[in-house]
Chains A and B, each alone.
Chain A
Amino acid sequence: MSRSIGLSEFEARLQEAGIALGDDRRIASVRTRSIAASDWGPAAAVAMTFGCRWAGMWAEADHAHMRLYCVLDYAGDPLLLSAEAPLAAPEFTSQTPHFPAADRMERHARDLFGVIFVDHPDPRRWTRHCAWPEHWHPLHPAQAGDPPTPGRTPADVDYPFAAVHGNGVFEIPVGPVHAGIIEPGHFRFHAAGEPVLKLEERLGYVHTGIERLAVGRDPAGLARLAARVSGDSAVAHAWAACQAMERAAGIEAPPRALALRGLLAERERVANHLGDIGAICNDVGFAFAHVQTARLRERWQRRNRECFGHRLLMDTLVPGGVARDLPADAAEILRADHAALRREVEPLFDIIDDHPPLDDRLVGTGVLSQDNARALGCTGYLGKASGCGFDLRRDAPYAPYDALEVPLVTDGEGDTAARVRVRMAEVRASLDLMDQLLDATPSGETIAPLPVPPPDAAGLGRVEGWRGETLAWVRFDDEGRIARYFPRDPSWFYWPALERLILGEIVPDFPVCNKSVNGSYSGVDL
Chain B
Amino acid sequence: MLRILTQVLRTGIVTEPPPATDDAALEALGLELRRAIDARFGRSLALRHVDAGSCNGCELEIHALANPYYDLERFGVGFVASPRHADALLVTGPVSRHMETALRRTWRAMPSPKFVIAAGQCACDGGEFGVSYASCGAVENVLPVDVKIPGCPPAPDELIRGLLAALRVPA
Residue total for A at the interface (Cβ-Cβ under 8 A): 61
Residue A155 lies at the interface, judged by CB distance under 8 Å to chain B: yes
Asked if A132 and B133 sit within 8 Å, CB to CB, the answer is yes
Q: How far is the CB of B80 from chain A (nearest CB, A)?
A: 9
Residue A142 lies at the interface, judged by CB distance under 8 Å to chain B: no
Asked if A212 and B132 sit within 8 Å, CB to CB, the answer is yes
Chain A residue contacts of B52, Cβ below 8 A = 184
Expressed in whole angstroms, the Cα–Cα distance for A311 and B56 within the complex equals 14
Asked if B129 and A209 sit within 8 Å, CB to CB, the answer is yes
Residue B67 lies at the interface, judged by CB distance under 8 Å to chain A: yes
Asked if B56 and A520 sit within 8 Å, CB to CB, the answer is yes
User: Could you tell me the dominant secondary structure of chain A's interface residues?
Assistant: loop
Contact A155:B93 (CB < 8 A) given known A138-B134, A298-B67:
no
Chain A residue contacts of B66, Cβ below 8 A = 294
> Of the candidates A225, A299, A306, which one forms a contact with B128 in the assembled complex, judged by CB atoms under 8 Å apart?
A225
Asked if A231 and B57 sit within 8 Å, CB to CB, the answer is yes
Asked if B7 and A348 sit within 8 Å, CB to CB, the answer is yes
Expressed in whole angstroms, the Cα–Cα distance for A268 and B133 within the complex equals 32
Asked if B3 and A230 sit within 8 Å, CB to CB, the answer is no
Chain A residue contacts of B101, Cβ below 8 A = 152-155
Q: How far is the CB of B163 from chain A (nearest CB, A)?
A: 14
Q: How far is the CB of B85 from chain A (nearest CB, A)?
A: 11
Expressed in whole angstroms, the Cα–Cα distance for A132 and B18 within the complex equals 51
Chain A residue contacts of B67, Cβ below 8 A = 291, 294-295, 297-298
Q: How far is the CB of B139 from chain A (nearest CB, A)?
A: 14
Q: How far is the CB of B133 from chain A (nearest CB, A)?
A: 5
Of the candidate stretches A4-12, A200-208, A474-482, the one touching chain B is A200-208
> Of the candidates B20, B54, B68, which one forms a contact with A522 in the assembled complex, judged by CB atoms under 8 Å apart?
B54
Expressed in whole angstroms, the Cα–Cα distance for A230 and B53 within the complex equals 11
Expressed in whole angstroms, the Cα–Cα distance for A351 and B20 within the complex equals 29
Asked if B57 and A232 sit within 8 Å, CB to CB, the answer is yes
Expressed in whole angstroms, the Cα–Cα distance for A205 and B21 within the complex equals 37
Chain B residue contacts of A298, Cβ below 8 A = 64, 67-70
Expressed in whole angstroms, the Cα–Cα distance for A152 and B95 within the complex equals 12
B86-111 vs A: 1/0 string, CB under 8 Å?
00000001101111111001100000
Asked if A230 and B55 sit within 8 Å, CB to CB, the answer is yes
Which residue of chain A has its CB nearest to the CB of B21? A302
Asked if A206 and B51 sit within 8 Å, CB to CB, the answer is yes
A residues 127-173 near B (Cβ < 8 Å) are 129-132, 138, 146-147, 152-156
Chain B residue contacts of A348, Cβ below 8 A = 7
Of the candidate stretches A175-183, A425-433, A506-514, the one touching chain B is A175-183
Asked if B129 and A213 sit within 8 Å, CB to CB, the answer is yes
Expressed in whole angstroms, the Cα–Cα distance for A451 and B68 within the complex equals 47
Asked if A288 and B4 sit within 8 Å, CB to CB, the answer is yes
Asked if A230 and B69 sit within 8 Å, CB to CB, the answer is no
Contact A206:B59 (CB < 8 A) given known A131-B133, A176-B99, A294-B68:
no
A residues 219-268 near B (Cβ < 8 Å) are 224-225, 228-232, 234
Chain B residue contacts of A302, Cβ below 8 A = 18, 20-21
Chain B residue contacts of A38, Cβ below 8 A = none
Residue A301 lies at the interface, judged by CB distance under 8 Å to chain B: yes
Residue A350 lies at the interface, judged by CB distance under 8 Å to chain B: yes
Chain A residue contacts of B69, Cβ below 8 A = 295, 298
Which residue of chain A has its CB nearest to the CB of B66? A294
Chain B residue contacts of A154, Cβ below 8 A = 101
Expressed in whole angstroms, the Cα–Cα distance for A180 and B56 within the complex equals 13
Residue A305 lies at the interface, judged by CB distance under 8 Å to chain B: yes
B residues 31-83 near A (Cβ < 8 Å) are 49-64, 66-70, 79, 81-82
> Of the candidates B59, B100, B132, which one forms a contact with A183 in the assembled complex, judged by CB atoms under 8 Å apart?
B59
Contact A275:B96 (CB < 8 A) given known A181-B49, A292-B7:
no
Which residue of chain A has its CB nearest to the CB of B63? A181
Asked if A183 and B102 sit within 8 Å, CB to CB, the answer is no
Q: How far is the CB of B131 from chain A (nearest CB, A)?
A: 10
> Of the candidates A147, A153, A224, A305, which one forms a contact with B100 in the assembled complex, judged by CB atoms under 8 Å apart?
A153
> Of the candidates B57, B100, B106, B129, which one forms a contact with A312 in the assembled complex, judged by CB atoms under 8 Å apart?
B57
Residue A444 lies at the interface, judged by CB distance under 8 Å to chain B: no
Asked if A521 and B56 sit within 8 Å, CB to CB, the answer is yes
Q: How far is the CB of A307 from chain B (nearest CB, A)?
A: 11
Residue A347 lies at the interface, judged by CB distance under 8 Å to chain B: yes
> Of the candidates A179, A288, A299, A314, which one forms a contact with B152 in the assembled complex, judged by CB atoms under 8 Å apart?
A314
Which residue of chain A has its CB nearest to the CB of B109? A177
Chain B residue contacts of A312, Cβ below 8 A = 57, 60-61, 153
> Of the candidates B51, B99, B133, which one forms a contact with A209 in the assembled complex, judged by CB atoms under 8 Å apart?
B133
Chain A residue contacts of B152, Cβ below 8 A = 228, 314
Chain B residue contacts of A208, Cβ below 8 A = 53, 93-94, 96, 129, 132, 134-135
Asked if B54 and A351 sit within 8 Å, CB to CB, the answer is no
Asked if A347 and B63 sit within 8 Å, CB to CB, the answer is no
Asked if A228 and B102 sit within 8 Å, CB to CB, the answer is no
Chain A residue contacts of B130, Cβ below 8 A = 213
Q: How far is the CB of A148 from chain B (nearest CB, A)?
A: 10
Q: List 18 A-B contacts (CB under 8 A).
A: A132-B133, A146-B133, A153-B98, A153-B101, A155-B105, A181-B49, A206-B51, A208-B94, A209-B134, A212-B133, A213-B132, A232-B57, A275-B63, A294-B66, A295-B67, A298-B69, A312-B57, A522-B54
- Using a CB–CB cutoff of 8 Å, the interface residues on chain B facing chain A are 3-4, 6-8, 10-11, 14, 18, 20-21, 49-64, 66-70, 79, 81-82, 93-94, 96-102, 105-106, 128-130, 132-135, 152-153, 155
For the complex with contacts A183-B51, A208-B94, A311-B61, 5 further pairs of A-B residues with Cβ separation under 8 Å are A131-B133, A155-B101, A208-B132, A208-B134, A295-B11
Top 3 A-B pairs ranked by shortest CB distance? A231-B57, A209-B134, A131-B97
